[in-house]
Structure 1
Amino acid sequence: MERILVLVRHGQSEWNLKNLFTGWKNPNLTEQGVAEAKKAGEQLRDLKLKFDLAFTSDLTRAQKTLELILSEIGQDGLETVKNQALNERDYGDITGMNKDEAREKFGEEQVHIWRRSFDVPPPGGESLKMTAERVLPYYHKEILPQVLGGKSIIVAAHGNSLRALIMELENLTPEQILKRELGTGAPVVYRLAEDGSVISVQDLAD
């Protein structure tokens, strides 16, 4: 029995393009983001993957990415569960701020700590550790049992909510996961053993 879990970060959003801290705000995909999502669908179609169930966040850019992927693989209308547990990390008071402007205002070192430390949140926001504390319980309760039951599952979410999952799946340290880059619209295909451990991982990023 195959146990397939595919994780995919949303395609480029309008705020990615503008280099803004996005968090829980709801910008749409850019034209490039739409193209990235369609390409992800093509890649999964080439692998002949079909899904039994989809999960996504409560944010438009992830939902739209998932819709475009499912359309490319001929699975429009697949049952999809949406939950804010899979939302991007909340950037709090710096949400909507240009990253270069944030560096000018708070200093390069401070912004780097907020972006790339594991457990230091920006003011009013979440650290990656705090993001993991909402993502992982949801994964264990709602997603993993479906995979272990033999269903092929796709999760369309965000850079940091997916990092939280990847950290656990690949047994990475906080230092290792902070260096892990996730391309927009690039699927990562996991095959899991019956205990939920990873047998193989295939990153479809260029």
Structure 2
Amino acid sequence: MLCIVRHGESEWNVIKRLQGQKDIPLSKKGIQQAKKLATHFIDQNIHFEYVFTSDLKRANQTAQWLTEAMPISGIKTETALRERYYGELEGRLITDIVDTLPDFQINFGVPMRYGMESLEDMQERMVTAITNIAKMTEGAPTLIVSHGGAINAFLHRITNGEIGTGKGKLANTSITQLRWLDDSFEVEAYNHTPHL
């Protein structure tokens, strides 16, 4: 089982400022969201043998809160699980960005501007990273903490666009559960928030 969780609310989520790979910490609400999800995991007797997280604070802090009461050997940080790099757009208010680039978060197949990482490149690194994790953990209960845009791009690829990018926004600390079987992913739950 692979359990992919979007990080808790960050300070910039609150003010709707584009984060990308800027290293912004969780807000107080984000910490509470992570604590509630940790309690849900314990109540449901869900434990993880492996934990992987993006190295950015908001994901790493979420992973720490989620596993605080679990007997795990350690949390492995992976830069490949980071959010998309938005170049010069990072730090700007999303409302201002939408005025000039309305499709900036779902812009498949167009030349990149402002030093942005292409959606395809971000999608490819996420698919490679999560596939490698799935092969390495061989079906053991595994937690992956990452970012909304990155998770959605991954899901877009493995479901041929049925879910993911352009289909909806992932909630903070939402759970997406996958099964790795016969070298492919099966989505068992998407954007699930029973703890909120």
Give the structure-1-normalised TM-score.
0.84
Q: Tell me what 1:64 maps to.
A: 61
What is the aligned counterpart of 1:118 among 99, 103, 108? 108
Q: Tell me what 1:131 maps to.
A: 122
The correspondence of residues 100-119 of structure 1 with structure 2, limited to 5 A, is: 100-103=95-98, 108=99, 110-119=100-109
Q: Tell me what 1:150 maps to.
A: 139
- Runs of 4+ with >4 A deviation: none
Distance 1:175 1:7 in 2: 14
Gaps of 5+ in 2: none
Q: Which has the higher helix share?
A: 1
In the alignment, does 2:170 pair up with 1:182?
yes
Secondary structure in 2 aligned to 1:155? Answer: strand
What is the aligned counterpart of 1:81 among 67, 73, 76? 76
Q: Tell me what 1:27 maps to.
A: 24
Whether contact under 8 Å (1:191, 1:201) holds in the other structure is: no
Cα-to-partner distance string for 1:94-120 (whole Å, 9 max, x where unaligned): 1000112334xxxx3x42221232244
Report sequence identity in percent. 26
> 1:163/1:175 Cα in 2 relative to 1: closer, same or farther (>3 Å)?
closer
In the alignment, does 2:190 pair up with 1:173?
no
Whether contact under 8 Å (1:92, 1:125) holds in the other structure is: yes
Gaps of 5+ in 1: none
In the alignment, does 2:43 pair up with 1:46?
yes
Aligned length: 193
Whether contact under 8 Å (1:132, 1:164) holds in the other structure is: yes
Distance 1:129 1:37 in 2: 30
What is the Cα deviation at residue 126 of structure 1?
Answer: 1.6
Whether contact under 8 Å (1:7, 1:154) holds in the other structure is: yes
Let me know the Cα RMSD of the aligned residues. 2.2
Supply the AA of the counterpart residue of 2:17.
L
Cα-to-partner distance string for 1:68-110 (whole Å, 9 max, x where unaligned): 1112xx216542211111100111111000112334xxxx3x4
